[in-house]
Chains A and B, each alone.
Chain A
Amino acid sequence: MKTRMSDIPRKCLYLGILAFALLLPWLPLGGSSNYLLRILTTATLYMVLALGLNIVPGFNGLLDLGYVGFYGIGAYTAGLLTLHYNVSFWIIVPLAALNGAIWGILLGAPTLRLTGDYFAIVTFGFSELVVLVIRNELWLTRGPMGLPGIAPPSVFGHPLTQDWEYFYLIIFLLLIVLFVVTRLEDSRIGRAWYSIREDEIAAQCSGVNLIQYKVTAFAISAAIGGAGGAFYANWFKFIHPDMFKFWESILILCLIVFGGLGSIVGTMLGALALIPLTELLRVVLPQNLFSGRYLIYGVVLVLMMRLRPDGLLPFVRFQQNKARRAQKRLAPTGNGE
């Protein structure tokens, strides 16, 4: 892995993007700069979330429709700890990630033996249950009243207020997650995951403990979701059960498939393309054509999948017969093959 030819230009590209991101708030854009920063902060947050989700369907080949449940758990963990105990943001993020991971293990351990879409629908049911609990347990979450007035995070005693400060914060979070995910990808665990994705039975025969590796993947994915939720709560300073509806899971899934399932750079590119798209359409389309915004959004999804069914930057790790890989990607148990 170390001698991959593309490594050096890739690193340069990463550094270039990072430098550009750090410079971005200081470009002379006048009044629109905060608007732009807000959109890019949202896009970066979704990059983090997408990188987390990618571990399960991308690396392991399991369809997860309940990712937003962990995101919501993280956000409420952070929101409640900030409001009631005024815990520092830097302690909250790991705690929220830990809470996400715990629920990931609790959900994953009994359900990860399920195959294909049965697993998907159980994760969906789980995320709906999370939202229902948030909505109905008023004593804990204030339910539909939401949690307003969450204190902003502070860095060395300085509370963050400016849009660029949050942008830097989420870039920092992204870098950490990116580091974790790329290291995982190249590790023993990552290789075990790929083997599970490509052929579960072959992996098992080669000594991969399926449940153990799948639960690990699910827990790490949930932890990243939880951390993303923690940032979200402290950035928005207000959380509400409606923010964690099923649609969010679908959206994040769209990002990773749009960008290239399993590919880290592709996943990030997917978020960077799709999240600002709705705002771009808002600015470009004429005022009275607001229903055109999501109309076009839908068409973009359909066209993109038609033109590049493997996503913007397809995952290329094994030089295999493309069609075979495509067939096997989400049917690890060989459904009728």
Chain B
Amino acid sequence: MAASDSKSLPSLGFLTVVQRSDGSLVGGYLVLSPIARPLEFHCTSPVEANRAQQILYGRTLRPYLCGEQIGRALVDRAQHRPLFVCTDDPDILPLRGDQSPPVVCVLGPADPDTATDGMPHHPSTAVTIGAEFQWGPYRAWVHPQHTADQTTLQTHWQQHLVDFDLCEPFERIRQAIQETQAG
């Protein structure tokens, strides 16, 4: 049997942020192989904005923390560069930079009859800050300044994601965050 070099395999990133009861945010980033096995996982300690940031960032605070701070730190920390980063939180879309992989927010299957519990988290935000498109059975958004990502993502869907439940890995991340917090 031959050992595989995991970094040579295509990988998929899943990133979400959990809000704790005290208001602080904990980010979790899971990199999966195309058959949904975990390759690496990173999470943050609770992150809390100070009072000044709360006042001065206003409504832009959460996208700033989730996307630009927590998300970017987690993705930069990972050893795998995924084909894309999938999130269930529209506030993570600002993670997308010129050098980062495409970032896509999925908000459950487009068909309301098959909508998944617990999603979307912030549909109104997503609508205002993202460019919507149909990605497989999902309603999805990319950053409005990177609408070309849609084409790339459609290709990835055909190659790696047909019948992949994109919502499921986020539950794993939440469980893992719970495990790290308990420890």
Partners in one complex: no
Which residue numbers of A lie inside 8 Å of B, CB to CB? Answer: none
Which residue numbers of B lie inside 8 Å of A, CB to CB? Answer: none
